[in-house]
Amino acid sequence: MTNTHITSYIDGKVGIIQLNRPKVANALNRLMIDEIVKQMEVYDSDDAIRVIMVKGNEKAFAAGADIDEMMEDTPLSLELLDPFAVWDRMLLIKKPMIAAINGFALGGGFELALHCDLIVAGETAKFGFPEVQLGVMPGAGGTQYLTREMGRRKALEMVWLGEPVSASYLLQNGVINRVVAPELVEEESMKLANKLSKQAPISLRLIKEAVDAAGDLSLRDGLKLERKNFYLTFASGDQKEGMQAFAEKRRPSFKGV
Ligand code: CAA
């Protein structure tokens, strides 16, 4: 697939998407989001890929939606175009997604990271929702994701003030997973991705579904879904392999079936 604003390549079992509009701090225009989501879907349906990683460059993961592109929008043009509908397709990705972040992750860039399952950031990364300073507000899920991750008061403070916060602040508040030296972000993300690549893919997939459901379902319904998913793992060869390997005191080799 030929893309204009992203570069994609495979490293082992990890499908990598590199955001590639460096002249505008990887600002996300609509074509770019479309390319990102399509590439995620390609990786998600490729049996050779176990984990998806999204990364930017040293200066920026992504500095938000492309302001030049949005400038002339009207309520009706937005209603007709429905530019955020494509973002919803990220919710259908079944494989683990890791965001590897250096530099700015602002507005839509932060929202893209929040759509990923795990976030690894460099110590100097800056996260924020500056939309309020543009007279708008987050539109690609920022208020919903951030509130779920850090709670109402902290989310309101962050989105109301629009000021960037550090990776360590988000680590303390449970929004991101790991903070490392900027030059180690990619290595740490790959380590994590390679570990996940060795786990049973069906377990990872069903765990992701169950954990995501915890935000939407009642406890009773969530427990029901978890139980069904647990039962479903017993349909896989990987369950047999995992338990057999335990009995034989060796490492399991999971096939994803
Ligand atoms: N849209 C369009 N262009 C952008 C951009 C964006 N979001 N962010 C940066 N750029 C462009 C700049 O205009 C500049 O272009 P020129 O060289 O042609 O002037 C280039 O990228 C480099 O940026 P700066 O010169 O500003 O670099 P800096 O290091 O001084 O600052 C920055 C970097 C802090 C990221 C700053 O560019 C900035 O504040 N950008 C805007 C961030 C923002 O407001 N994001 C939210 C967008 S709205 C949104 O995302 C809505 C949503 O929910 C989906």
The atom of ligand 1 lying closest to the CA of 133 is 44
pLDDT attached to residue 1 = 67
Q: What radius of gyration, in Å, describes the C-alpha atoms of the chain?
A: 19
Q: Quick check: is 15 catalytic?
A: no
Q: Is 108 a catalytic residue?
A: yes
Tell me how many degrees the CA angle 225-228-229 measures, rounded to the nearest 5: 85
* Helix 201-214 with 219-233: angle, nearest 10 deg: 170
Q: Tell me the CA–centroid distance for residue 236 and ligand 1, in Å.
A: 47
Residue type, 173: N
On whether both 191 and 229 belong to a single domain, the answer is no
Are 99 and 167 contained in the same domain? yes
pLDDT score recorded for residue 2 = 83
Q: Residue 155 belongs to what domain range?
A: 6-198
Shared domain for 135 and 223, answered yes or no, is no
Q: Is 139 a catalytic residue?
A: no
Expressed in angstroms and rounded, the spacing between residue 23 Cα and the centre of ligand 1 is 10
Task: Please indicate, yes or no, whether residues 112 and 186 belong to a single structural domain of this protein.
Answer: yes
Contact by Cβ (8 Å): 167, 127: yes
Residue 255 is assigned to a structural domain of this protein: no
pTM: 0.97
CATH number of the domain residue 207 falls in: 1.10.12.10
Whether residues 83 and 112 share a domain: the answer is yes
| CATH assignment at residue 50 | 3.90.226.10
Burial pattern 211-240, b for ≥16 Cβ within 10 A else e, equals: eeeeeeeeeeebeebbeebeeebeebebbe
Give the separation between CA 194 and CA 196, rounded to whole angstroms: 5
Name all residues whose Cβ lies below 6 A of ligand 1.
Answer: 24-25, 27, 63-68, 104, 106-108, 111, 130-131, 134, 138-140, 142
Ligand 1 center to 247 CA (angstroms)? 56
pLDDT tens digits, 223-251: 999 999 999 999 999 999 999 999 999 99
152 and 32 in a single domain? The answer is yes
With the most atoms of ligand 1 within 8 angstroms of its CB, the residue from 24, 28, 30, 104 to mutate is 24
- pLDDT beneath 50, residues of the chain: none
Residues 33 and 150 in one domain: yes
Number of domains making up the chain: 2
152 in a domain, yes or no? yes
Q: Would you state the pLDDT for residue 149?
A: 96
